Amino acid sequence: MTYHAFAKVNIFLKIVGKRGHYHELQSRFMRVENLYDVLVLTPKKTEEPFELHGEFGCALQQNTIYKAYVALQEAGFKAALTALFDRYSLTVEKHIPSFAGLGGGSSDAASFLHLVNDMAALNLDHDTLAQIGIKVGADVPFFVYNYHSANVSGIGEIVEPFEEPPLKLDVFTPNIKCNTAEIYKAFREHYKIDLELSDKMSHMKSKTLLETYQDYELNDLLSPAIKVNKQIEDYRKKDWFFSGSGSSFFSMKETDKNG
């Protein structure tokens, strides 16, 4: 059984408040159809209770798929997980760059939740999977719902589909690892919230947004990201936009720019 875990970009991202240790946001997430990781179940080879293979660059306990595995256990599905992973291991072919603002880890976790839901016949609806997923990461609910485009708010738990044609996108990720915590800290210290602009953007189509606003207007995290890591400035260019806390940039393909 094979599952695709798609990347996303933030067409716009506005910080609108703070809730405890978390920042509240309004954002338009759009799925990138031509960039995805691949999750594959294969026969088990070891005695490990959860056998996971892939080039992740982190310890198992920090891996979002493992965190989703734990979250499912805590939600009461330990027996179903044990039965499934007594027989199978999970291999992930990584294509989405890590620490890049593209949601690769969150997408992997969401696809894992769907995989287990299907293969273990849990029969959970999307809302229930999203409630489990938010414990893993703020972006996981968006990927659980499988929307092409959605307005995402709160700390990521509010996902509302946005009806529009999906854009064809090019993505470029420079070899820069952005520290999300430092970037949010720089925003708090140096930049202001604009609730009126955020609300206006949430009603506009993505193509119109990209044609109307500058990159720093669309993404509140671009300017603080440059303040934290000046190298990012070297990769800015016309008609390319910053995704999340970076370091990826994206652009509409020529067919969508001219269409």
The single residue of 14, 37, 108, 139 carrying the catalytic annotation is 139
Q: How many CB atoms lie within 10 A of CB 43?
A: 7
Q: Give SS3 for 223.
A: helix
The single residue of 8, 14, 37, 220 carrying the catalytic annotation is 8
Q: Provide the 8-state DSSP code for 11.
A: E
d(CA 192, CA 187): 8
d(CA 134, CA 234): 34
Q: Give SS3 for 135.
A: coil
* Both tokens assigned to 196: 């009126």
> Quick one: CA torsion of 226, 232, 234, 237, rounded to 10 degrees?
-90
Residue 220 appears among annotated catalytic residues? no
Residue 8 appears among annotated catalytic residues? yes
Q: Provide the 8-state DSSP code for 134.
A: T
d(CA 14, CA 26): 5
The candidate with the shortest Cα–Cα distance to 137, out of 9, 22, 60, is: 22
Active site residues: 8, 139
